[in-house]
Amino acid sequence: GELGRLLDVDSAEVGRARLRHARAAALRAHALVVLKGDDTIVAAPSGRVAISPGGAPALATAGTGDVLAGVAGALLAKRLSPAHAVCAAVYAHLRAGRLAAAPHGPDGVIASDVIAALPAALAAGSG
């Protein structure tokens, strides 16, 4: 995957030690790093991590990572701290993926379905 290429590590190795590699990438980049997966990891350069348990198979499709980046950017524009914005974006993205899969099934979701589900996902997170 992408993180393996960035770290010059085999993707199978990243899969075996996801937390270690997410932390290493955050330290190397001096930035927050999101490693999407069944348990999505948000790693900070300080070594601190947040884990969003559970996944949404619908999010394993082209363009959904771009949707996540857009949500994070929008939340940053609202002046949330970077860590809070990214963690909230990961939560909303996961929720939107699950909502999008309800009518389409996990294999029938495209990125625009996730975008369409974001208002409901964000509303669920604010209550």
Higher pLDDT, 99 or 125: 99
Longest dimension (CA), the chain: 42
DSSP state of 56: -
| pLDDT tens string 5-56 | 999 999 999 999 999 999 999 999 999 999 999 899 999 999 999 999 988 9
57: amino acid identity, one letter: P
| Residue 76 burial by Cβ neighbours in a 10 Å radius (0-12, 13-18, 19+) | middle
Q: What is the pLDDT of residues 65-82, one digit of tens each?
A: 999 999 999 999 999 999
Residue 75 pLDDT: 96
- The single-letter DSSP state of residue 81 is -
pTM beyond 0.85: yes
